[in-house]
Every structure is written in structure tokens, then in C-alpha cells.
Amino acid sequence: MKKSILGLAGLGLTSLLMLTGCGKSDDVLVVGTNASFPPFEYVGGPSGDEVKGFDIDLARQIAKDAGKTLKIENMNFDSLIVALNSGKIDFVASGMTITEERQASVDFSAPYYEATQVVLMNKDNDSIKSIDDLNGKRIAVQLGSTGDIMAKNYSDNVTAFNTGFEAVMELRNAKVDLVLFDSEPAISFLNQNPQLKMVELDFEPEFYGLAVSKNQTELLSQINTTLSNMKSNGAYDALVSKHMK
Ligand code: ARG
């Protein structure tokens, strides 16, 4: 569809950006994620390249309620906020913890999941009993995650990887002492790596939120409405039982 210059002048900045920049159409909602964070988002399925998980099911319901088709953009975790604020994606569903620092550049939905950081280590390692024991340890994390930010409070020896999977590999190869990671994906890594164990320390709880760029009030309220409907009609609990074992 062609728009006249006059027609364009009447459009808001966002629609203008959508027409010029990124080939997004009005009936598509683009969710950004980093699909290396099971059970929230991971690559799998019969074809082996389908992005699936708890967050993806949430995102599908949000798109459905908005009468739109969901498109998934899988990217590095530390690219998500940039992609959001450049209009490449409409919202982030990626187990993203609501933090004050992130709230300075994006808006979050109501919290939809409570998590905490945990330690993954090799079974034969007994050196971590409390948070203080993290001091000076060699720690692997996912780049840009809350684990990454926290680890730096304890150690100068923090290596950040694009995926938690790579961090776990580093641990299996004994190149680091531990991985600091979110609880649910840690359990899922544990299930695949019987030589590892999980140590729970006294970390503060974290709350995941879906993120939109600032001033996307309509989308944000649609997202919150879907979340609260899913909580009250049992769909949220059904997703928890489907994805968290
Ligand atoms: N909750 C952590 C954070 O915000 C880690 C999230 C990582 N998510 C992912 N899909 N890789 O920072």
C-alpha cells in the first residue's frame, strides 16, 4: 500500500518508523528472546529449530489477545533492550528480571515469575556454603544477566558467555569454579549434567517481567491484561505445570 506524503504527515512517529525501518506490519507482534534459557525459552521441537518455552507460550497468548500474529526474534540476551528501543522488536519475553537499572530504559509488565540466583558446581567441589564463599572464585555467567552483575560484586574473575550453556561447559571443563545462574534454567542444566550439583545461597528473590519500550502504554496494558486473565482463568498455572517439572 502506498502512502502519500500528506498521509505520512498525519502518522505518528512510531507508525512512520514502522513503515520505513523494519518492515513490521500492524498485524504482527514481534517478541524478542534469547532461546538458551530452558524452560522459559529454548530451541527444540521435531525440527530442532523451533523456539519454545514458558515465555513463548505467554507471548503467543498476548499476540492472540491482541489479534496479531506472533513473530519470534531470537538474539543474544544483551542485545534485547537495544533491539526493543530501536523498534526491531515490540516486546521482550526472556526471563528478564525487573531491575531499577533496566527500568531506566524500558517499561516492565507486572511481575510474572519469581526466581533467584543459584550456584552450579561440580559435585566434588565443597567450597561454597555461603555467599561470602563466592569471594575471589572463578565464576562463569551469561553476559548481561543479573548473575553477571552480581558475580562482579564478589569476584574479579568473572567470565561472561552469550549462553548459560557455554558457561556450564566451562564449568564441566573445570575452567571455572562455579556458574551463577537463574534457578529454573539451572535445574534444567542439572538434569542434563549429572556431574553437577546446585547450591542455594541466601540471594534476594528476583521477579521476571515482560519489557516494552518506554511510552508503549497501550501494548503494556494489553500485556498486563493478558497476564491477569491467564492468572485468573487457570491458563497461567497450566503453563507452570506444562513447563516446570
Ligand atoms: N533473569 C536474568 C536476567 O535478567 C537472566 C535472564 C536470561 N534470559 C535468557 N533468556 N537468556 O538478567
- Provide the residue-wise pLDDT of the chain in tens; the chain has 245 residues: 444 444 444 455 545 444 444 446 789 999 999 999 999 999 998 898 999 999 999 999 999 999 999 999 999 999 999 999 999 999 999 999 999 999 999 999 999 999 999 999 999 999 999 999 999 999 999 999 999 999 999 999 999 999 999 999 999 999 999 999 999 999 999 999 999 999 999 999 999 999 999 989 999 999 999 999 999 999 999 999 999 97
Q: Mapping DSSP to helix (H, G, I), strand (E, B) and coil, where does residue 140 land?
A: strand
Distance 210 CA to ligand 1 centre (A): 11
Look up the CATH number of domain 9-113+207-243: 3.40.190.10
Can 9-113+207-243 and 117-199 be said to share one CATH topology? yes
Distance 43 CA to ligand 1 centre (A): 16
Going from N- to C-terminal start, the domains of the chain cover: 9-113+207-243, 117-199
Task: From 77, 105, 180, 208, give the residue whose CB has the most ligand 1 atoms within 8 Å, as the site to mutate.
Answer: 77
Long-range contacts of residues 79-83, Cβ cutoff 8 Å, at least 24 apart: 80/32, 80/33, 80/34, 80/211, 81/105, 81/106, 81/211, 83/32
Q: Which residues line ligand 1 (CB under 6 A)?
A: 33-34, 36-37, 41, 77, 94-97, 142, 145-146, 182, 206
Nearest-atom index, ligand 1, CA of 145: 12
Q: Which pLDDT does position 24 carry in this prediction?
A: 62
The secondary structure of 33-65 as a DSSP string is E-SEETTTEEEESTTS-EEESHHHHHHHHHHHH
Distance 96 CA to ligand 1 centre (A): 5
Round to whole Å and give the CA distance between 157 and 138.
5
Round to whole Å and give the CA distance between 21 and 39.
33
Distance 36 CA to ligand 1 centre (A): 9
Task: From 43, 51, 97, give the residue whose CB has the most ligand 1 atoms within 8 Å, as the site to mutate.
Answer: 97
The predicted-structure confidence for 28-80, as pLDDT tens digits, reads as follows 999 999 999 999 999 998 898 999 999 999 999 999 999 999 999 999 999 99
- pTM for this prediction: 0.89
Q: Sheet harboring 36-37: ordered strands across?
A: 36-37, 41-44, 50-52
Distance 213 CA to ligand 1 centre (A): 17
Distance 20 CA to ligand 1 centre (A): 31
Task: From 103, 145, 146, 210, give the residue whose CB has the most ligand 1 atoms within 8 Å, as the site to mutate.
Answer: 145
239, 82 Cβ separation under 8 angstroms: no
Distance 186 CA to ligand 1 centre (A): 12
Superfamily of domain 117-199: Periplasmic binding protein-like II (3.40.190.10)
Q: Which pLDDT does position 25 carry in this prediction?
A: 72
Q: Which three cell numbers stand for residue 66?
A: 491482541
Residue type, 34: N
Task: From 182, 183, 203, give the residue whose CB has the most ligand 1 atoms within 8 Å, as the site to mutate.
Answer: 182
